[in-house]
Amino acid sequence: MVCISNPQCTFSSGEYMIVITNRERIGRLSGHDIFRVTSFQILPLPRNLLSLSESQTTDEQTYVHLLETHLKSNAFYFSYTYDLTQSLQRQAQLPQSTTKSLWQRADDRFFWNRHISSKLIEATLKGQNLSNFILPIMQGFIEILTTQINSKPFIFALISRRSRFRAGTRYFSRGIDTEGHVSNFIESEQLLLTDPPAQPSAPWPTSQQIEGHTQISYVQVRGSLPLFWAQVNDLNYSPKMRLKEGTDSTQAARRHFDELLRIYGRQILVNLTNTKGYELPVGQAYERIVDELHDDRLRYIHFDFHKECSNMRWHRIQLLLDQLEEDLVQQR
C-alpha cells in the first residue's frame, strides 16, 4: 500500500484519510520508474456522526461520493525518485548538490496533494523530519514510448501537468482570479531522450556532462483567457460568454503574465477564439488587455481555429505555424 502523504481531508463529521492501494508502472524516465495510480481508498478517521443532522449526513455521503469519482479519473501519477512536477529544464537549473526532498523541490502548481499534506509539511518545517511520508502526486496525463531508430534507443514522452489552482471543470470555472491564476491551466512537455541510462540514477545529467547523450524538451502551456469572465450553464449547447461588469482584468493579467515570463521567458500568445459570434467580445477584450500591458516579451496572435480548420481541415494549422516560424526558430 502506498500512502499519499498525510492524506487528510475534512468534511462535516471529521477527517478522512486517502490512501493509494494500487499502482501501474507506465515507463521509465532517466532511469526512474513512473507510476499511475489505479485505485484509492478513503478511510474515515475518528469522527462524530451522531452530531450530524439528517441533511448533513446526506451531504457527507455526497461529498465522499464526489471525491471517489474524482479519484477514479485515472489521471494521478507519481514517482519515488523523479520530480514529475518540474520540466526537464527547471530540473537542470536546480543545484546539482541539493539535498532537498522531492516535495521540497516540487513545483507548487502541480503538487496536487499539497493541501492535504499540509500537516506533515508543517511538522517537518518545525523540526520533525517526516519527508519520507510526503510524496508529491501529479494530476494530468503521461505517456512514455520506447523505440529504436538505426538501432539507437529513444524515449518519447508526453507529460501534461494540470495546475491545482482554479482547476474546475469546463464551463464551471472560467477566466482568471485576482492572484493571476487562470482556469484549467496545463503545462505540456514533450520529451525526446536518447541512450537512456539502464539503472536508476540522479536526475539525468546534462548533454554537456556526458558526450553522446541527448535530451530535448519542449514546453507549451494553455489556460482560460486571462480575463474576468464567465460562461453560465443553461440549456444551450454553447452557453454565452459574459465579461464581468465593473471589473478591471489588467492587474490580474499582469500578475499572470509576470509569472509566465519568470518561469518560461518570452511568450507567444495564441488566441484561438472565434472572430465572430458569441466568442468575439471576450476575444477582443483579451487583445485589448495585451495591448494595455505593452510588453515586448509578449507576442499576440489571433488564429480563428474553428474557421480555419473547419470540416476536419487539420492541415490548415500550417497557417498558424507559418506565422510562428520565426519565433519557433529563435527558441532553438
pLDDT digits (tens, 9 = 90+) for 68-77: 888 888 899 9
Identify the domain boundary among 218, 252, 280: 218
Average pLDDT for 243-248: 79
For residues 280 and 198, the model is more confident at 280
What is the structure's pLDDT at 9? Answer: 65
CA distance readout (Å), 91 to 86, 88, 132, 211:
6, 5, 20, 19
Q: Which of 27, 32, 327, 20 is nearest to 158 (CA)?
A: 27
Burial class of residue 54 (count of CB atoms within 10 Å of its CB; 0-12, 13-18, 19+): exposed
Pair 79, 182 in one domain: yes
Which amino acid, residue 44?
A: P
Domain membership of residue 266 as a residue range: 225-330
Residues 135 and 203 in one domain: yes
- What is the distance between the terminal CA atoms of the chain, rounded to a whole angstrom? 43
pLDDT of residue 49: 67
Using one digit for the tens of pLDDT, what is the confidence trace for 275-299?
Answer: 988 889 999 999 999 999 999 999 9
- Which of 218, 237, 261 is a domain's end point? 218
174's CB contacts (< 8 A; 6+ apart) are 183, 224, 225, 229, 230, 231, 241
Statement to judge: residues 96 and 185 lie in one domain:
yes
- pLDDT over 90 at 135, yes or no: yes
Same domain, 301 and 240: yes
Q: Specify whether 204 is located in the same domain as 302.
A: no
What is the per-residue pLDDT for 4? Answer: 45
pLDDT tens track for 78-110 = 999 999 999 999 998 887 657 788 999 999 999
Task: Give me the residues paired with residue 144 across strands.
Answer: 157
Please check whether residues 162 and 109 belong to one and the same domain.
yes
Which of 155, 190, 218 is where one domain is finished? Answer: 218
**pLDDT exceeds 70 at position 209:** no
Q: Do 19 and 59 have their domain in common?
A: yes
Q: Which cell is 131 given?
A: 519527508
pLDDT at 30: 85
Q: With bands split at pLDDT 50, 70 and 90, how would you rate the model's confidence at 196?
A: low
Question: If you average pLDDT over residues 179-189, what whole number do you get?
Answer: 96
* 8/139 same-domain check: yes
Mean pLDDT (the chain) is 86
pLDDT at residue 212 in the model: 56
Looking at the structure of the chain, the number of domains it has is: 2
Element (H, E) at 255: helix 250-264
